[in-house]
Amino acid sequence: MSEEQKPTTVNQDQPTETWFSSWFDTPYYHILYKDRNYREAQVFMDNLTHYLNLPEKAKVLDLACGKGRHSIYLNQLGFNVLGADLSENSIEQASKNTNDSLHFEVHDMREPFEEKYDAIFNLFTSFGYFENDEDNLTTLKAIKESLSEYGFAVIDFMNVTQVINTLVPEETKTVDGIDFHLKRYLKEGHIYKEIDFEDQGRKFHYTEKVRALTLNDFEELMEEAGIFLLDIFGDYKLKKFHKTESERLIMIFK
């Protein structure tokens, strides 16, 4: 597992935690990505649940749910939703929206759930963070084990080929008065994003690292996990997947 650091001054980095458990738990992660297109995400949820023809009050698991925005919307669509995430901070925030048919819990996606779900959604490239490739296979097996007999699972991943071809090596994004300096590159089968910024007189550094998994990689993993890949889409409108042009790699399986 990639060992990254909690926020600190630049010369005092401490390799204490996995990058995702430290970075996702900071408020800065949510500041940097606050302008994501959530309307587009809701259209995706509408299209996806319609395509899957989920029954009313179906049990839906939002795996790696963050602060629960999409879990909340899925619940508004009439589903019984559990949002799960490794980040305790995110789950604490999400849990403020709990109701009789919407719940949240801290959970490692490598572990299966006792409950069985009609649909499991892993959205917006929330896969491939692990240093050990075996953990990706373990996660797929856990998803399969957590599905009901007639359930479907969905992984919404980046289209690695398109991302690499259009990678912006360096840029600065200013959000809430903070200048986030971003560097992106491909190294040893992973796509990296280094994030540097200053706030309140302190310097911070984080590194995002995601396995550059192609459709072929997923197909091999799924075959090994005993998973049947049903359909593949290339964007949130569920258009056909194109290897070099599609923005997303959306896989539906059971």
User: Pick from 60, 210, 64: which is nearest to 139 by CA?
Assistant: 64
Is 138 within 8 Å of 110 (Cβ atoms)?
yes
Residue 196: strand pairing partners: 181, 205
Whole-number pLDDT of residue 6: 34
Contact 105, 114 (CB under 8 A): no
Q: Could you report the per-residue pLDDT of 160-171, keeping only the tens digit for each?
A: 999 999 999 999
Q: What is the pLDDT of residues 180-229, one digit of tens each?
A: 999 999 999 999 999 999 999 999 999 999 999 999 999 999 999 999 99
Whether 14 has a pLDDT exceeding 60, the answer reads no
pLDDT at 131 over 90: no
At residue 173, the pLDDT reads 93
- Measure CA 105 to chain center: 16
pLDDT level of residue 9 (50, 70, 90 thresholds): very low
Give the C-alpha separation, 178 to 204, whole Å.
11
Res 154 pLDDT > 90: yes
E-strand spans in 86-177? 102-106, 117-122, 147-158, 170-175
pLDDT tens for 58-90 read 999 999 998 898 999 999 999 999 999 998 988
Q: What is the pLDDT of residues 80-129, one digit of tens each?
A: 999 999 989 889 999 999 999 999 999 999 999 999 999 999 999 999 98
Q: What is the mean pLDDT of the chain?
A: 89
Collapsed DSSP state (helix, strand, coil) of residue 231: strand
Q: What is the pLDDT of residue 37?
A: 59
